[in-house]
Structure 1
């Protein structure tokens, strides 16, 4: 088995489909099937079985995928160390920085940050993966990226983190409303990160005995915001989502002690990754920013 075989196993495991995996690997499906057959013959065991819903990995296959992930991560670490050694003499900051970024941060903050960083370090390139904060936090935990921008308080052992900013969560509507009437008012709900949803749900159960009246459900926070701006109902949104919008009525959520309920945004990274000039420079740059101006 070689590097390409490890890559094949990892992609096939993530897709559970030969056609999709072949497309991502830039090979034909027959070539992928043939290579998979060769791997199984070499190891003398079945790695996958075909089912109506796609590919299923055997216990031996699951173990092999785990080994593939470790082998690929180790190989990537070797490449990064060699690259870093080659440029360490002049302390030059070059290379590709892999970032995992929450959807909100990618839409509202990332472009400006990368622009400022590129002004200082023009030879750095970026590979960016976006998604829900839960998925982005998993990326840094698995070492698939160097740094993750995550909204919410996720706990991973062995990771360093730095707080970027805090924001309140608020009930928002086009017109003034009485917060005690919320169970009877139409609410625009959206599919958000599960940590945010759990915070909102906990606040609701502490303050109301009735479930909310969900009049419209959407899948994006920006869609929810537009619905609220057009007076179709109220929403419960984080305050940075509403930056620059002045003509909305807002009430911050507070806990039982009367303190505002906050949502935090962090960067997460592994200490060992700071050995790379490009990672160390980016972390230092992020820590130096004045987030009130971003």
Structure 2
């Protein structure tokens, strides 16, 4: 079994057609078909159901597809990390952040990494929490911070902070007081959201449904700036992470209140590859990220999660406190 066969099989499955996959891989269709057939013969099981309308994975094929993706991710990570042993190559280091964390951390992290004067180039990438574990697994990102991620068999997900969800309103609304606000009071507010699929909105809906409270979502706008403008006018309120509105709250154009009874929170995880220890620049980057996590814990929105008998952040060579 060769890496090329795994890449070809994954491409065929994702494109849904050997013809399309052959065009993507820039090889002739019979050669690609022979690769898949040889793979099935080696494994002793049919991986694909072929028909004039395209191909579909068999149950064995679906299982093998997931394993092949994991293997290709590990190969990519190994290929990338092995370059760290060659001092003649400067290398690259990628850090993944969510949008709200990016507003709080991207600039200071970039400045701190720049001060290190490393030979490696550091790239800070913004993406949604759901995508970051898979990007770690595929070797596209070295380290990441993401919220409420599911367990992953090739990614170490360490909880580091608990973040409060805030009720954000304008200074002219009836809710323009300081301090926490009970969830029950929010049944009287009108809300704007960016998407129904948001982690925060799902958390809010679940909490309000448990208390049999209505949720009035009148506006749906994908632009964060437009949402903040609507809130500042007093037209609607929103459920948002503090990082999204920190500047406006400090300027007094928006008001952010923690939600109480019950409090609404989500967990921030540090993500890193599980298959191997971090080393070199990645190890140093972990120490820097730990410092910034401790700094975030001083923010009104965050609370540090203490370790339970395990080192808080580091694995492998980076496991010293």
Would you say the 8 A contact 1:152–1:196 is kept in 2?
A: no
Aligned to 2:238: 235
Which structure: greater helix fraction? 1
Would you say the 8 A contact 2:83–2:89 is kept in 1?
A: no
Would you say the 8 A contact 1:175–1:249 is kept in 2?
A: no
Root-mean-square deviation (Å): 3.8
Please list every run of 5 or more consecutive structure 1 residues that lacks an aligned counterpart in the other structure. none
Aligned to 1:133: 129
The DSSP-based 3-state class of the residue aligned with 1:274 is coil
Matched, 1:9 2:9: yes
Matched, 1:57 2:23: no
Deviation at 1:107, TM superposition (A): 5.4
Aligned to 1:159: 156
Equivalent residues in 2 for 1:18-167 (5 A)? 27-28=25-26, 31=27, 33-43=29-39, 44=41, 45=46, 47=48, 49=50, 55-80=55-80, 82-87=82-87, 94-106=90-102, 109-126=105-122, 130-140=126-136, 145-152=141-148, 154-155=150-151, 159-161=156-158, 163=160, 166-167=163-164
Would you say the 8 A contact 1:98–1:127 is kept in 2?
A: yes
The 2-side partners of 1:113 and 1:35 are apart by 48
Deviation at 1:279, TM superposition (A): 1.7
Matched, 1:172 2:173: no
TM-score w.r.t. the length of structure 1 is: 0.73
Matched, 1:217 2:220: yes
- The counterpart of 1:201, out of the listed 198, 205, 218, is 205
TM-score w.r.t. the length of structure 2 is: 0.68
- The counterpart of 1:286, out of the listed 284, 289, 310, is 289
The 1-side partners of 2:14 and 2:122 are apart by 23
Would you say the 8 A contact 1:170–1:253 is kept in 2?
A: yes
Cα 1:144–1:210, aligned 2, differ >3 Å: closer, same or farther?
A: same
Would you say the 8 A contact 2:103–2:244 is kept in 1?
A: no
Please list every run of 5 or more consecutive structure 2 residues that lacks an aligned counterpart in the other structure. 176-180, 300-321
Aligned to 1:189: 193
Q: Cα deviation per residue 1:74-114 (whole Å; 9 max; x = unaligned)? A: 43354355334444xxxx99422244432333455335423
Cα 1:183–1:33, aligned 2, differ >3 Å: closer, same or farther?
A: farther
Aligned to 1:248: 254
The 2-side partners of 1:16 and 1:119 are apart by 47
Equivalences, count? 280
The 2-side partners of 1:33 and 1:127 are apart by 38
